[in-house]
Amino acid sequence: MLRLHDVSASYRGLKALQGVSMDVGKGEVVAVVGANGAGKSTLLRAIAGQVATTGSIEFDGESLAHVPAHMVTRRGISLVPEGRRLFPRLSVEDNLRLGAYSKRGDFDRFAPLELVFSLFPRLRERLMQRAGTLSGGEQQMLAIGRALMTQPRLLMLDEPSQGIMPKLVDDIFKAILRIRRLDVTILLVEQRLAESLEIADRAYVLQTGRVVMSGPAKQIAADAAVRQAYLGM
């Protein structure tokens, strides 16, 4: 579904990605793990069209080269970015509905709202509240909800557990598993190694912008050398 070949990118003058190749198959949950600064976020931003890259990125067989970021979203790739990037002064409802903005003209473009509310019932209770007044966990739920409103086929999550109470982290991971069952492919970047490798099918280990290891998530999780050398645990 998503295929990267020899992708390199610079971020603020530094080489953030160097010759990354990877495949994500339809329906898979793929985790990208690695230490801070390994290039995980840059990888997701490169796929989303937010950083210039060399090499090739293909989605459903079509090249994403020179496709502007908003068109990448319209093609069915949705990024839940680091820091969530909600619209803090807009209400929860407006944030969600804006997710369907580019589908204007579709009769049932707000249909995913029900799905979002079933995943995150808290959001329904807070519809009128400004997004900026939500707790960290609720903001993350809203960010995922907003991304689902674009009806993605590939959902990319950048550190969804960052800055969230441990109790809510479980909810987020459970939601990711439920989203997967809806035929949405998931590419997950996470600091929480154990949890992310547990829900992932496969994983890539990044170190200073290169893929140093890849394979079934269980195998990566079990590999003591990986844990020590690249993940610092």
Contact set with other proteins (CB under 8 A): 48-50, 68-74, 78-79, 81, 85-90, 94, 97-99, 101-104, 146-147, 149-150
Q: How far is the CB of 89 from other proteins (least distance, A)?
A: 6
User: Residue 120 has what DSSP assignment?
Assistant: -
Which of 78, 231 has the CB closer to other proteins?
78
| 86, 146 Cβ separation under 8 angstroms | yes
Q: Cβ-count burial of 89 within 10 angstroms (0-12 exposed, 13-18 middle, 19+ buried)? A: exposed
Q: CB of residue 161 vs other proteins: minimum separation in angstroms?
A: 19
Question: Cα(first)–Cα(last) distance of the chain, in Å?
Answer: 32
Both tokens assigned to 144:
């995922």
- Nearest distance from residue 150's CB to other proteins, in Å? 6
- In sequence order, what E strands does 94-201 have? 154-158, 185-189
Distance CA 221, CA 130 (A): 40
Distance CA 106, CA 149 (A): 12
Q: Smallest distance from the beta carbon of 218 to other proteins, in angstroms?
A: 32
Nearer to other proteins by Cβ, of 2 and 72: the residue is: 72
Distance CA 39, CA 46 (A): 10
CB of 5 to other proteins, least distance (A): 24
Q: Which C-beta is closer to other proteins: that of 43 or that of 213?
A: 43
Beta carbon nearer to other proteins, 92 or 211: 92
Measured over all CA atoms, what is the biggest interatomic distance in the chain, rounded to whole angstroms? 53
Considering beta carbons, is residue 35 or 90 the nearer one to other proteins?
A: 90
Cα gap 68→66, rounded to integer Å? 6
